[in-house]
């Protein structure tokens, strides 16, 4: 795992926002801007999707991303690929070392399968995603986006090792307070985040916590 630190100064960021657990966030990151997600209290899964801001039908593709880099895990150097084979974002700094893109987002319905039928009434990432998409004007012609725009996402700070035998395991997080991941937009990108509210597994250390989101303009880098 490559640990790459950033030399960007938070006091020079043009955007600085603390996102509580269980909230969604949809924001444009312009081509050339650098976007940082900071795990304030440690082991917080940040479910994230990316869209071409000019044509949101072009969106993040987990499977193209892992195939093109020949590796399951996202870290510094990873190019986040779109469904059209183009680079949306490049991860330029990472002090956590490994991020998941196979585990997807929690949803009421998948919680009912994974844990117990009555868990479907708990808050979930898909509810946050759908809330944000249903309140945005990001779709073609300033329309909303909807469930068809949801696909397999990135889980920043989440640790989901795959064994050589093909088993998927959910391990305790390898993130910690103050760890961050930073990515440069290679085109104008809508970033959609659900700061994960999952209480049923260790992805948030059973205690979902806030994350900090920062953006630097190209001139400040």
Give residues in contact with other proteins (CB under 8 A).
Answer: 57, 61-64, 66-67, 70-73, 83, 85, 98, 102-105, 107-114, 116-117, 120, 126, 147-153, 160, 162-170
33 versus 153: smaller Cβ distance to other proteins: 153
168 versus 218: smaller Cβ distance to other proteins: 168
In the complex, the smallest distance separating the C-beta of residue 14 from other proteins, rounded to whole angstroms, is 32
- Runs of H (alpha helix) within 77-153: 108-114, 125-134
203 versus 214: smaller Cβ distance to other proteins: 203
On whether the CB atoms of residues 193 and 153 are closer than 8 A, the answer is no
- How many angstroms separate the CA atoms of 94 and 98, rounded? 8
> For residue 39, what are its two tokens?
């795990």
- How many angstroms separate the CA atoms of 26 and 132, rounded? 7
3 versus 162: smaller Cβ distance to other proteins: 162
Q: Residue 59, class by beta-carbon neighbours within 10 Å (0-12 exposed, 13-18 middle, 19+ buried)?
A: buried
The end-to-end CA distance of the chain, in Å, is 25
Contacts (Cβ under 8 Å, ≥6 apart) of 213: 15, 16, 17, 18, 19, 25, 27, 35, 36, 37, 38, 193
In the complex, the smallest distance separating the C-beta of residue 7 from other proteins, rounded to whole angstroms, is 27
Residue with tokens 């205690």: 207
- How many angstroms separate the CA atoms of 174 and 98, rounded? 8
In the complex, the smallest distance separating the C-beta of residue 110 from other proteins, rounded to whole angstroms, is 5
In the complex, the smallest distance separating the C-beta of residue 133 from other proteins, rounded to whole angstroms, is 12
Q: Strand 34-39 to strand 79-81: parallel, antiparallel, or no bridges (unpaired)?
A: unpaired
In the complex, the smallest distance separating the C-beta of residue 51 from other proteins, rounded to whole angstroms, is 11
112 versus 209: smaller Cβ distance to other proteins: 112
Give the residue among 88, 135, 126 at the shortest CA–CA distance from 104: 126
38 versus 47: smaller Cβ distance to other proteins: 47
């Amino acid at each position: 795992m490559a640990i790459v630190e950033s030399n960007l100064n938070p006091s020079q960021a043009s955007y600085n926002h603390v996102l509580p657990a269980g909230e969604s966030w949809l924001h444009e990151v312009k081509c050339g801007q650098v976007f940082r997600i900071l795990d304030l209290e440690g082991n917080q899964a940040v479910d994230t999707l990316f869209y071409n801001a000019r044509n949101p039908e072009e969106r993040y593709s987990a499977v193209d991303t892992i195939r093109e880099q020949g590796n399951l895990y996202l870290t510094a150097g990873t190019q986040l690929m779109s469904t059209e084979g183009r680079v949306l974002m490049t991860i330029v700094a990472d002090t956590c070392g490994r991020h998941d893109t196979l585990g997807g987002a929690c949803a009421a319905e998948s919680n009912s399968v994974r844990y117990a039928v009555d868990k479907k009434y708990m808050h979930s990432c898909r509810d946050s995603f759908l809330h944000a998409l249903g309140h945005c004007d990001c779709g073609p012609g300033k329309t909303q986006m909807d469930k068809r725009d949801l696909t397999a996402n990135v889980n920043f700070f989440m640790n989901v090792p795959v064994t050589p035998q093909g088993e998927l395991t959910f391990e305790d997080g390898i993130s910690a307070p103050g760890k961050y991941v930073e990515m440069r937009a290679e085109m104008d990108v809508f970033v959609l985040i659900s700061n994960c509210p999952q209480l049923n597994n260790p992805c948030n250390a059973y205690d979902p916590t806030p994350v900090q989101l920062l953006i630097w303009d190209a001139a400040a880098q």
